[in-house]
Structure formats: C-alpha cells, structure tokens
Amino acid sequence: MKHSLAAYLENESLAPQLSESEAQRLAGELGSLAGFRVYPRSISAAHHSVFFLGQDNGSKSVGVLAASSSSTHAFSGERRTARVGATEAALTLGPATASNAAMLRRALPFLAPQPLGLRKSAGCGDRLGLATPGHIRAIRHFDLAPILAQQSMRENARTGRTPQEVMDDALFGVFQEGWRDGFGADADHLKTAADIDLCAAAGYTFYTIDPGEYVDNAANSAPAEILRQKVEALPWNELESNWKSVEDQLGRKPVDLGEFKLAISAEELRRAAVKYGRVVAHTVKMYRHLAHVMGPRPFELEMSVDETDAVTSLPEHLYIAHELRRLGVRCVSLAPRYVGTFEKGVDYIGNLDEFEQSFAQHLAVSKTYGPYKLSLHSGSDKFSVYPIAARVAGELVHLKTAGTSYLEALRAIAKLNPGLFREIASFAAGRYPTDRASYHVSAEVSRMPSPASVPDDQLTALLDNFDSREILHVTFGSVLNHAPFRESFFSALRSDEEVYYAMLETHFNRHLSPFRAATGAGAVTL
C-alpha cells in the first residue's frame, strides 16, 4: 500500500511502520522539505504529525511535520510552513537535544524504556553515544530483549557524560532505527542513594546495585574465632534478624534446590554471613530508597558482586538470595563472582567444565529464590561461555557488555583514519600502567605489538591481540579526555557512520547468536 505524507498527517494514533521501499520514498520527500538526509526507519506518524530524524553536516537533527501550527508538541527548533499536497503544514526542525528528546519520548511511547521481566536479555553499553543503531541492527536478528541505555557511574565520570545524556543518546539511536519492540535502560553499578536519584530522574528502568565495597573478602580464610567475632559485629538491626534465626533457617537441614539439596555447615554459613552480611544490608537500604524514589513507576533490580576478589560459593549465593527475599527485595537478575576469570574485553580464562557445573548450581538457587536471571558481567567477548550459559539457563540469563563497543569504534577508526588509531594505541600503552588499577586485567605492555611497526592494513589485528585489546579497552577514559584526540575521534566515526554500524552488527551477531532460541533448563513461561 502506497502512503503519502498528507495521509500520514491524518493519523491520531501511532501508524504502523512503513515497508523499506515506502520509508525510502518518504525519506526522500521529507529530506527535500527539511534540507538534510533523513533516516528512513525513523519516520513515525502520530498525533497528526510525522516525526523523523536526519543528519545535517555531521549532526543529528529532528523534524516534526504537523498538520497545523498548533501541533508542534513543544518541540524547539526553526519553524516554517511546508506544502504537503493540498495541505499547508507546519515543519519544525531542531537539534538532537535533551528537551527535544523529552518531547519525542512523550509523543512516541516506544522511545521510552520499559522493564523487560524474565526474558533473556543483553545489555549493550555505549560509552560514546553513537553505537545504538549498530546494536539494534544486531538485536533484530535474535530474540533477546535489549538494554540500550547502559553505563556505570564510573564510566560516565571517565567519559564526561551524565545519566540523562546516556538515556537521550540511546533514544536517538532507537528513533533512528525505528525500533519498536521495547528496550531497557540500566543504571549500572550504583553505589550510593545519590546515584539512584540521578538515574531515577533520567527515567531508568533497571538498576544495578554494586555493594562490592561491603564484601568482606577476608571471610574466606579467617579463623573460627575471628569469624564468630565478625558474626556478632554484623548490623543485625539493619538485617532485621539475628544469628540464631539465620542458623534456624539455613543451617539446621539441607535446603531443597529442586534438582538437589544443599547442606550448609555452620562454618560455611558463618563465612557466608560475614562475607556478604553487609552487602545484603546495603542492598536492602538501596532498594528501599529506590522504591521510594520511583513511587508508582515500575522498575527492576539487579544485584552485583562480580567485581570482588573471591568467588561466590553456592552457600554464599544461597545466603544472599534467601536474605534478600526475606527482606522484601525482589531481583530480576543477580551477578555472582563466578569461578574462573572474567577479564575485560577478552574470552573467559578458566576450566569450562568447572564453569558449567558451577553455573548450573547457581541457576538452581536463582530458580528457587526467584526466579531471577543470572547475569554475566564483564560479559564482552566471552565466546566460550555463551553456549554454556544459553544451554543451561535458557531464558534466565542476562549478558552485560560495554567496552567491546568502544573497541569496535577503534576498529572503525583503524579503517577510517589509520594515523589517528596508531596515535591512540601508542598513547594507550603509556596510560595503561595507571588506568589498569581499577580493573581485573592481566595484559602487559611488553607483549603488545608496537603500533608504529604495524602497516595500515593490519592495524585492526591489534584489536584481536589479547594484550593490546585489554590495554585499549581500559584506557578509554584517558583517550576520550585527551584533548588532541577527542574531536578527531568523533569526527572519524561520524565521517562514515555506516562503517561503525557494520562492525558493531557483525561483532554483536557473534555475541548473541549462541543465545538464539535457547531452551535450556532455565526456560520459564512469561
């Protein structure tokens, strides 16, 4: 069926998406009216208006073509009249700003994030604000629910972005690609109530609490007498319990986990409580603050203890899950510290058989005390783990990535501007000894190939080398805050954005394909 702009202006409710050919045709017409290239998939009609996104001299511009000047939706920009058939319409063109993002969110509800529930999901962190179209192009091939706005407060501090900017950048990517199947927004690795307030104000729907600093890693090796002293010193008022109650509930008889029963010894229970008791207390405090701030708005919670020194044992996971449920905290996912090593930007390091056995046991806890998803943090490029997680967990799995999209940006720069990439790689090598301090990484500069010795057509191989890949990964903040690089970095990516999108799509296809139609033991009816 052939559509016309005039007919689109008659729509009060959201019109169905256009076919590719129709979208291309109308993009040409809108581009002629607006004076810039229009992204065909962005065209949406509702409220007697046509909304669209385009590119104008390297910057994104938003357009609203309305049936009358009164239908401008509080959109800020340049206003002019436009003839559409026999209709005189109002055309408003403006920049991709926070205020215009808010207007679009109100006008087109599919641009607002939403809770994703227990669908298997993937978080696609975007440190640059440019990656969402590439993420969506990959997501279209699979049945995972995407989280498209996702950055930790640490990452925002290093890139100079705010939670609202992360949210708005994702919105414009969703708008550009015309993605209407829903997406989440993850306020990642939150440590304080002030973090929650910022992200709640920006409209996030998924909140990852990071109580890692409350983990007592010494509990694993503390002698019995020290353990008893530490148990007595736990914040029992905040935990609304006492040691005898914990023993009665978890230590008197084996806990039924469905496929097996787990007997927890008195020593194991003490170590679990000492190691994670303050974690539970902090998480409860954060959850209750979040619930108060969100009011009637729906939200989801993830609790993460993945960035800690010691592995989360099965009794420890069970203790955490039991206590959170007892205290009224409902999680949609939880990230333990798994066996093996999850370093940034490289594949899993460890015994895969051991990981599978441990992952299946953790899943039993999540099904018994939830159900909730098991979350794979530092999940980028863990290609050997994905088939195991998909097979074992089915729907009950969440994959979290972030830095891998930055690395694909560097891959694009290596193709578009080899000289700039070589400068960045050399600078990163110099910054790595400092920047590695807050990450679990094992790369060594001495093992990184010298960027100066690599020919232009082989530079992308640096992104496939273990050491140079990790070095480039963890130095993102230093690179993006280095004035001589910043403008050139973004200019290179914007000079041919399709190069970056294509690399992201290929890279994320590899991440997501193992999760296609997973039907493992974790499958749930939604």
Give the residue numbers annotated as catalytic, written as ranges. Answer: 188, 302
- Residue holding tokens 């939880």? 334
The C-alpha R_g of the chain, in whole angstroms, comes to 25
- E-strand ranges in 370-478 read 373-376, 397-401
Q: What is the spatial distance between Cα 506 and Cα 375, in angstroms, rounded to a whole number?
A: 23
| Nearest C-alpha neighbor of 142 from the set 117, 124, 121, 173 | 121
Beta-ladder partners of 55: 37, 60
Query: Side chain identity at 262, as an amino acid letter?
Result: L
Residues near 209 by Cβ (< 8 Å), separated by ≥ 6? 190, 282, 283, 286, 287, 301, 302, 303, 304
Beta-ladder partners of 262: 255
Token pair for 402: 């972030």
- E-strand ranges in 353-463 read 373-376, 397-401
Query: Side chain identity at 15, as an amino acid letter?
Result: A
DSSP, res 341 = B
| Nearest C-alpha neighbor of 350 from the set 277, 285, 440, 274 | 440
Q: 38-43 long-range CB contacts below 8 Å, 24 or more apart?
A: 38/63, 39/176, 39/177, 41/17, 41/176, 41/177, 41/178, 42/175, 42/176, 42/177, 42/178, 43/18, 43/178
| Nearest C-alpha neighbor of 312 from the set 348, 276, 281 | 276
Residues near 284 by Cβ (< 8 Å), separated by ≥ 6? 238, 239, 324, 327, 328, 329
Contact 209, 287 (CB under 8 A): yes
Residue-by-residue DSSP string for 158-179:
HHT--HHHHHHHHHHHHHHHT-
240-268 as b/e: b if 16+ CB within 10 A? ebebeebeebbbeeebebeeeebebeeeb
Contact 224, 267 (CB under 8 A): yes
DSSP, res 440 = -
Q: What is the spatial distance between Cα 384 and Cα 341, in angstroms, rounded to a whole number?
A: 12
Q: What is the spatial distance between Cα 104 and Cα 110, in angstroms, rounded to a whole number?
A: 10
- Residue holding tokens 């960027």? 451
